[in-house]
Structure 1
């Protein structure tokens, strides 16, 4: 499985050829890239061939694990990983004992027996890492492979805010390995508050694709976060969520203020911001916390700003209209670097 083979709200994978062309045409310097809100990591992955240094950041624990699995250039034993894959796919689900995943997510987010298998594999990966049977890189690859594999059979609409009720879960879990990315680029991985990190990072380009609406990503992907951290907290509510953490101000009314703080503190030559026009959505949770006009006003204080747009069918859970949807890209040439 490749880095783009997962479901993720707001993923820019299909837009990357267009975005990459815009960067090449409008950003004279592009050796170093600061991917401020890394998400799936596909932006960094798709721009590796036009950069030499990549700084990628996201505040989700699961995304940090994915970045280490795909991007860190550390040695690993592929044959060993294939043996783990074979072992996991030959397990008899019916004979496995109940575990944290099956008790909480069985017949909800996954088939009950699949949940038993997922829980067994997660514990087995942890035990083998702690017993030094796995290197750190092998640990991250297996853990990411587990999450990418169960994402294919999860009983959801594409995120984990809730599971689909009233229907038989048809998909079946199969453990597949991811394909780590080989690169000679310098890769720096962070799980920091973006606004704090912006104060210390220097780069040619800052790529910014923040969460704009009230849907918190830490809640959208709580199942991934819980299984990655493996602290086994008590889960509550119909959706089986852990206690709140990593709640972003970009999903609150403070969004314009924190966005302006971010832009002000960036030490870069070019700023690329992606934006979609859901600010006029009928759904309050989908409606953007920052308007197009606010984005433009904030960026223009930093330097000359151009706006590009394209038609794009965004992710839609089926409850709100997504007609006439456009994806916009702002490219700002920071004032100190204007020709």
Structure 2
């Protein structure tokens, strides 16, 4: 899945252990800072009903694709209009409709457009996020998805699924160290590989899961057993760091500016959790909105909200506990594996 700052893939065993030990019998979980849904997907896979939220459009596509959907999209209105046969009949028989649609898109010829002009080394943009070939293929795929939507051939969830697959594919060939605030000076090995669209797997938890593109304080107003919080812990604004995936989703033609190509005309909604003077009160407000029986917070020891403040907030709901973790830290100049950060997991039973 797409690379994302702060992905909790490595700490899933610790999070799961805490919830299974201290919130035994929990059947539902809310993740208001969903990102690419690493934690939400894990607990959906374990059978929990899941509710997610985030402010970014890219996150919303991953939410709809991996959390809202319990089965692979069938593309019933689209497939009759396309030649979807695989290279041989035996292979075609075992492919899902989604895999066939993605294969059709992958075989389509590149068509240089917005991404090629603004985010490859073509036409003097100076931004080497993608090779010209991959940028042209991204352009072609994105234009085709928009056309299918406008023609009424795909619904919202089918569109979200295809866009999530495109964001994942584009990230795998992006010439970056992990975010889109800068590109590498020389072409990386992965950036020179051809764009490949892979079907994102879907897990069925036989529950009605809810997804939203809203402020975490709104998402937390729900009836769940477990509230899992992974708020931003510094001033790094993800809408800037992931501006290019946002542009691929919005497809609004916003003019890229500067070395990073961040659209100057787009209004960026900076989270209160990224602002030192507002982060603590924002967390306190969020906790006050939630009726969850059990709260888990993943936070950095040197984050904007002090350790004692978090403990005070949780102790107001019940007895707060915490454990220290050593995790990999993002740094654009040094290999992630070489850096360790000090994080904490807090938990509290609200009974």
Q: Distance in 2 between matches of 1:26 and 1:157?
A: 37
8 Å contact 2:29–2:224 — kept in the other structure?
A: yes
SS of corresponding position for 2:258: coil
* 1:47 Cα offset (Å): 1.2
Of 103, 117, 121, which residue of structure 2 is paired with 1:103?
Answer: 117
Q: Distance in 1 between matches of 2:261 and 2:307?
A: 35
Q: Distance in 1 between matches of 2:335 and 2:304?
A: 17
| Change in CA separation of 1:206 and 1:51 when aligned onto 2, cut-off 3 Å | farther
* 1:164 Cα offset (Å): 1.6
| Change in CA separation of 1:133 and 1:44 when aligned onto 2, cut-off 3 Å | same
1:58-137 alignment runs, 5 A limit: 58-71=54-67, 72-73=69-70, 75-77=73-75, 79-93=96-110, 96=111, 98-107=112-121, 108-137=128-157
Q: Distance in 1 between matches of 2:260 and 2:24?
A: 47
8 Å contact 1:29–1:205 — kept in the other structure?
A: no
Q: Distance in 2 between matches of 1:316 and 1:324?
A: 10
TM-score of the aligned structures, taking structure 1 as reference length: 0.87
Partner of 1:290: 305
Of 287, 307, 311, which residue of structure 2 is paired with 1:263?
Answer: 287
8 Å contact 1:154–1:171 — kept in the other structure?
A: no
SS of corresponding position for 2:262: coil
Partner of 1:282: none
Partner of 1:331: 347
| Change in CA separation of 1:124 and 1:33 when aligned onto 2, cut-off 3 Å | same
Partner of 1:250: 273
* 1:167 Cα offset (Å): 4.4
Q: Unpaired segments of 5 or more residues in structure 1?
A: 280-287
| Change in CA separation of 1:265 and 1:29 when aligned onto 2, cut-off 3 Å | farther
| Change in CA separation of 1:7 and 1:206 when aligned onto 2, cut-off 3 Å | same
8 Å contact 2:329–2:340 — kept in the other structure?
A: no
Q: Does 1:233 align with 2:250?
A: no
Relative to structure 2, which stretch is displaced further, 81-90 or 220-229?
81-90
TM-score of the aligned structures, taking structure 2 as reference length: 0.84
8 Å contact 1:29–1:269 — kept in the other structure?
A: no
Q: Distance in 2 between matches of 1:172 and 1:244?
A: 33
SS of corresponding position for 1:325: strand
8 Å contact 1:264–1:302 — kept in the other structure?
A: no
Of 197, 207, 211, which residue of structure 2 is paired with 1:189?
Answer: 211
Relative to structure 2, which stretch is displaced further, 26-35 or 251-260?
26-35
8 Å contact 1:31–1:50 — kept in the other structure?
A: no
8 Å contact 1:222–1:241 — kept in the other structure?
A: yes
Relative to structure 2, which stretch is displaced further, 235-244 or 289-298?
289-298
* 1:224 Cα offset (Å): 0.5
Q: Paired residues, what number?
A: 318
* 1:58 Cα offset (Å): 1.0
